[in-house]
Every structure is written in structure tokens, then in C-alpha cells.
Amino acid sequence: MARATPGTGGDSRMDAAPLTVAAVARTLGVAASTLRTWDRRYGLGPSSHQAGSHRRYTPDDVARLQTMRRLTLRGVAPVDAARIATEPGTGDSRDGEETGPAEEADDGSLALDPLTLAAAAVEPDLRRVHRMLSRATREAGVVAVWADLVQPAAEMVDQGRHRLAQRPGSDPHGVMRLGLMQAIRELAVPGPAPVRVLAPAADRVSAHVIAGGLAEAGVGALVVPAEHLPVDTDPLAWLPEGEVAVLAVIGNPPGAEEVVTRSSERGDVNVFLLGDESPSLWLPHVHRVRTPAAAVAEIAATVRD
């Protein structure tokens, strides 16, 4: 039975025969001279050697080259693409698809930087994005990950060539959002949720980041979509007395001023306003915070008091 070349299906990667430079060049659609350049400059060369013959590319070699090829086509600089392609665990997927249970493990060697995250989102490789964000969250906290990793990676995505045109079903920003949401879900706090975080759709991820930060502090919180607030009933019906201690409002969604004013008048809920566009209200029990990190710290302290 003939063996299938990598990337075309058929036999498993462990059973695939090593390939020549010419065969790999045809598989990737690049010139053989390009492969030799990548070998010489970045160490992306063949690793298999048989006595009396030239070195051959193994399936893992080809997988790394496929990653290199995908990233360069999406505008990543070759030196950066090569670094990402040679990281442990990077060359284990084809066209962004995971290959098996071994992909789930993270031995701590996967780089955690905006460029690597942006490249994984562009591929797209959701599992790898999730592994990165999950580990980064455990090490630095979700608020820091949002500010120092996810947002810079999103800016890199917007600066790349693919910002002008994307393949159907490819959404790098969506991949990063979903990976971050998965990491935040892992922080869930059982029991009561004395905090509500109100946010419009444009700031929904920020709301989940704050709720995740509160979860890390042991405080339960629920995110409330501003567009779903009741308009024909009591505007505070969704803030049951005795159950909610804090309301955080991100930005200035429709109806926010009335909700904040009524909450202040009721007197049993502390309100925290976050964002440059937050309502210009100076009322009892209403506080202003400048950053998500400050919001998490002050809200957690308020709930504990």
C-alpha cells in the first residue's frame, strides 16, 4: 500500500515515509531553494538520515515547515515565524487542526508573548490559544493577561496583511476571545454571586475579564448584557435586594444613568463606574475606577467589608 504524504490524510504521521527536498517543496508549494534557505537561516531542515543517502524530512519536519509557510503567508516576519514553528508542540497540527491527546498537555515550554498568541490566532489554532491563555492566567492573573497579552496581540493582528481579507471561518479576534473565555470559565467561583457587571456588547469581554479577576479573588460575579435590561418594568428588578452588593457599570450603555441613579437612591448597592464614557454622576454609593485591575481590587474589598 502506498503511503500518503503529510497533510493529505491516510497513514498516521508515525508511519509516513521521510521525504526528499523535492517532495516537500511540491507539498508546500515552495521552491527547493526556499527550503534550503530556511534550513540554513532558521534550522528548519530535515532531521532524518539514512546511510548512503541524503537527509530526509520527517512528518514532524514537514509540520514545522507547514507552520512556517502559513505564518509567512499571513504576514509574519520569517524570523518570527521560524521561532514560532520551532517551539515545542508547535509542529503538531495540520492546517490548524489538532492531532490528538498529546496536544492537550502544556509542559511550560510554550512561549507566552503577544506575537506567538497572534500567530496562533491567525492560523487559527484554538486549542493552542486556549493553552497559552490558560497558563498565562494561572501565572499572572486574567486582568494582566488581558492588558499585557491579549490586547497587544489583537493590535498585531490588526496591523497584519490579513486584516484586509480573511478566509471564510477565520476570525483571529474571535479565536482569542473564545480562548480567553475558556480560561475565564476555569476560574468560576461556586456559591453566591454578589456582584453584577453591566456592559454593552462592545465591552462584553472587558466585563468577563473583571468577573474573572473577581473569581480569582474568591468573589462571585455575573455579567449582564446591557441590551437585555428591562425597559417596561422596574429598572432594578434584576438587582434583587439582599443578594447583590455591588454593581459595576462599564462605559455608558443605554439606561445606565437611570440604573445608577436608582441604585444610589435605594442605598443597598455600591456602584462602580469604569471607562472614560461612564455616566457623569456624582451620587452617594457611586464610585469611579480607572482600570480593570483597580475595579477588581476595590470591588473585592467592598464585598468583603
Residue-wise pLDDT for 53-106, tens only, equals 567 888 888 888 888 887 776 667 788 788 888 876 555 444 444 333 334 445
Pairing, β 270-274 against β 246-250: parallel
Pairwise pLDDT comparison (253 vs 75), residue with the higher score: 253
Residues with Cβ within 8 Å of 72's Cβ and at least 6 positions away in sequence, in order, are: 78, 81
pLDDT for residue 254 = 85
Question: Is 257 within 8 Å of 108 (Cβ atoms)?
Answer: no
Helices 204-216, 292-304: crossing angle, 10 deg rounding: 50
pLDDT for residue 3 = 37
Residues with Cβ within 8 Å of 139's Cβ and at least 6 positions away in sequence, in order, are: 112
Residues with Cβ within 8 Å of 254's Cβ and at least 6 positions away in sequence, in order, are: 200, 226, 227, 229
pTM: 0.68
Dist. CA 67–CA 179, nearest whole Å: 20
Q: Which of 18, 6, 27, 1 is nearest to 53 (CA)?
A: 18
When pLDDT is cut at 50, 70 and 90, the band that residue 46 belongs to is: confident
Residues with Cβ within 8 Å of 238's Cβ and at least 6 positions away in sequence, in order, are: 196, 224, 229, 230
Grid coordinates belonging to 38: 530556511
Residue-wise pLDDT for 199-237, tens only, equals 999 999 999 999 999 999 999 999 999 888 777 677 788
**Strand ordering across the sheet containing 270-274:** 221-225, 195-199, 246-250, 270-274, 286-289
CA distances from 161 to 165, 232, 285 (A): 8, 47, 48
Strand ranges inside the chain, DSSP E:
48-49, 55-56, 195-199, 221-225, 246-250, 270-274, 286-289
Residue-wise pLDDT for 260-296, tens only, equals 999 999 889 999 999 888 878 888 899 999 999 999 9
Residue-wise pLDDT for 133-186, tens only, equals 999 999 999 999 999 999 999 998 888 765 556 777 788 999 999 999 999 999
- The DSSP output letter for 3 is P
Query: Is cis: bond before 152, omega within 30 of 0?
Result: no
pLDDT for residue 253 = 87
Number of H helices and number of E strands within the chain? 12, 7
What single letter denotes the amino acid at residue 69? R
Q: Which of 97, 100, 71 is nearest to 84 (CA)?
A: 71
